[in-house]
Amino acid sequence: MSNQAERPKEQPPQVGFGGRRGGPMQARINKEKPKNMGKTILRLLKVIGRSKYFLICLLLTMSAVTVMDLFGPTLQGNAIDTIRLEDGRFTVDLGEMKKVLAQMLLLFSVSAVFTYFQSILSAKISQDTVFAMRNDLFAKISRLSIKSTDSHRHGDLMSRMTNDVENVSNAVSQSIASLFSSLLTFVGALIFMFRCNVIVTLVAFITVPMTIFVSTKLAKFMRRYFVQQQILLGKLNGEVEEMVIGYKTVVAYGKEPETIERFGVISEDLRKTSIRSRVFGSIMGPCMNFLGNLQYVLVASFGIFYVIRGRMTPGDIQAMLQYSRRFNRPINEIANQYASIMTALAGAERIFEIMDTPDEVDEGTLDISAESIRGNIEFKGIEFGYVPGEPVLKGLNLSVKQGQKIAIVGATGSGKTTIVNLLTRFYELDGGKIYVDGTDITELPKKTLREAIGIVLQDTVLFADTIDVNIRYGKPEATQEEVRFAAETAKMDGFIRRLPDGYDTVLTEGGSNLSQGQRQLLAIARAVIANPRILILDEATSNVDTRTEMHIQQAMLELMKNRTSLIIAHRLSTIRDADKIVVLRDGVIVEEGSHDELLKKKGEYEKLYQNQFAGIAT
């Protein structure tokens, strides 16, 4: 039987980092309240703060631009006041106007230069932030346990690495400068307004409580849609990834309509949520504009009243009106950029969610090298389940001596692959102990333990690089002679030499320019060159033809000499010469012995063997 059919029962169900189950057919919206916005902003500022020197320069530049911008309305008001009405006639103080216009020209020119440098610094900080976040996130993913990555859709993980980080980048480049500048403008405008007229300034404050109330309520209401949008985008990427990777299977089974329908469900949910987020996000802009215009009318009305009383000049009114616009800028900036800011914060939350996931635990401190491991293995009272309350292994006991070749067989879902996952510490035990050379494997550093174990899986993983690099993946320092020897052992050297570029042939992603059998042979060569003390073959010859299998079996006999070997097999004909065959059923060893001994018992193994011999799938 194919091991591929076994794994869905042994592996955990798809759950997100938040612990909620879900699949593409469900595409349900996570209704949980979003995390603390303030905490997310503070963490984001810490990341941005890594470019502190550029940030300081940016803040100083923005301060200079803001101060120059604040002097603009005052100069414009002075220019207007050079025009006077005397005896029913307008007169202009040309000398004074020329002086003011020259000051304005100089001010705006210098401001333009500073604004140019401000945009450069803003772009620099934005890209540095993206660089830091992507590097931190990638490094974090490399430290996660297999359990964490197995329990999360890879497309969603990639979405956090690309879309979410890019959204943060856009918000940083567009929002930081404008928001900080707006805040400075708010304070500066307030000072200039108080200098012009205290009463009119207090009138302008009438709309502030209304503005704060409306913006707070709208923000609380709309925020959830931006979080939902990012979650659905991750699900959509996961669905696309599954379609691309499993395209041949989809076509072979004629599942294109179902796949399109499933994609359409998620895409429709994303479309609706995106529309809601954008529509509701755009509500804030008009609301803030209305309140800003109301303030404008109030300032103009009271200003005219004071002009009539002779306590303000027309230039003062013009300056006050412009300052009132700047007075509202911080809230208007937030309103106009609310969609991108909320999307970025939602993305940042999803990134920090992964960053907060505990690293893979490695409590092993024993100072030992992989070469010194002999290969005695003992499983004692192993208890394990991927899902609480659903045990896969139940009190399993198994002893493997150095150099022994042990075959593990059993029906689908009996726990064969789980034994390998636990030995390599891809998952941690719920109960019991595993010993290597009498040492609890939790005392061995994981790096040492895994260096001592060579694995050939049924599902071969190859990288988009040369054949040479893929073979020496587990031993980069290997010589060319060692690479050739490994290829010869795997019966692949002749095929590789016939390729136009030989060992320098570049493989496509996943090695798709090789046949499935050739990919498996290459994986076997990779295990040969690693020279492990313990060898695990997870149905390693299932994808090759019978003749090639015979050659590989001969090569494997050489490879397995003086090595402890665990063979997970479904083709029982490939394990006849194993030192011991272990039969699993429902997570328990029900039989063990040699091939002939187990056939004589006429038990579980004999049933599996007869069924397979008769051509019936086990």
pLDDT band for position 142 (50/70/90)?
confident
* Closest residue by Cα to residue 526 from 572, 570, 557, 559: 559
pLDDT band for position 382 (50/70/90)?
very high
User: pLDDT, tens digit, for every residue of 496-550?
Assistant: 898 888 999 988 877 777 877 788 888 888 888 888 889 888 776 665 666 666 7
Residues with Cβ within 8 Å of 145's Cβ and at least 6 positions away in sequence, in order, are 358, 359, 360, 361, 426, 427
Residues with Cβ within 8 Å of 404's Cβ and at least 6 positions away in sequence, in order, are 564, 565, 579, 580
What are the helix (H) ranges across 365-505?
A: 416-423, 446-451, 467-471, 480-489, 493-498
Average pLDDT over residues 486-499: 85
For the cut 60, the answer to whether the pLDDT of residue 5 exceeds it is: no
pLDDT for 18: 36
pLDDT for 331: 66
Average pLDDT over residues 290-315: 79
* Closest residue by Cα to residue 582 from 370, 384, 435, 382: 382
Q: 326-330, 334-338, 440-444, 536-540: which has the highest mean pLDDT?
A: 440-444
pLDDT for 248: 65
For the cut 90, the answer to whether the pLDDT of residue 205 exceeds it is: no
Burial class (CB in 10 A: 0-12, 13-18, 19+), 340: middle
User: pLDDT, tens digit, for every residue of 234-250?
Assistant: 788 777 877 776 776 77
Average pLDDT over residues 379-401: 90
User: pLDDT, tens digit, for every residue of 54-100?
Assistant: 888 888 888 888 888 888 778 877 787 777 766 667 677 788 888 88
pLDDT band for position 434 (50/70/90)?
very high
pLDDT band for position 35 (50/70/90)?
low
For the cut 70, the answer to whether the pLDDT of residue 23 exceeds it is: no
Of 351-365, 390-404, 577-591, the least confident: 351-365
Residue 602 Rama label (left phi>0; alpha psi -120 to 50; beta): left
User: pLDDT, tens digit, for every residue of 553-571?
Assistant: 766 776 777 789 898 877 6
CA angle 369, 150, 461 (to 5 degrees): 65
Tell me the C-alpha distance between 566 and 404, whole Å. Answer: 8
Residue 529 CA, chain-centre distance (Å), reads 33
What distances in angstroms separate CA 431 from CA 90, 386, 434, one per listed residue?
A: 96, 13, 10
pLDDT band for position 601 (50/70/90)?
confident
For the cut 80, the answer to whether the pLDDT of residue 222 exceeds it is: no
Q: Report percent pLDDT > 90 for the chain.
A: 8
For the cut 60, the answer to whether the pLDDT of residue 324 exceeds it is: yes
pLDDT for 433: 94
pLDDT for 25: 32
For the cut 70, the answer to whether the pLDDT of residue 31 exceeds it is: no
pLDDT band for position 586 (50/70/90)?
confident
Residue 379 pairs in a beta bridge with 398, 434
**Across all residues in the chain, what is the average pLDDT?**
79
pLDDT band for position 21 (50/70/90)?
very low
For the cut 60, the answer to whether the pLDDT of residue 603 exceeds it is: yes
Average pLDDT over residues 433-459: 88
Average pLDDT over residues 214-229: 73
pLDDT for 616: 44
Q: Kindly state the tokens that stand for 543.
A: 């994808």
377-384 and 431-436 strand pairing: antiparallel
Tell me the C-alpha distance between 57 and 568, whole Å. Answer: 62
For the cut 70, the answer to whether the pLDDT of residue 425 exceeds it is: yes
Q: Report percent pLDDT > 70 for the chain.
A: 84
Using an 8 Å Cβ cutoff, are 523 and 543 in contact? Answer: no
Average pLDDT over residues 267-275: 84
Using an 8 Å Cβ cutoff, are 491 and 548 in contact? Answer: yes
DSSP letter for 394, please: E
pLDDT band for position 432 (50/70/90)?
very high
Tell me the C-alpha distance between 407 and 417, whole Å. Answer: 12
pLDDT band for position 423 (50/70/90)?
very high
- Residue 394 or residue 94, greater confidence: 394
Average pLDDT over residues 321-326: 76
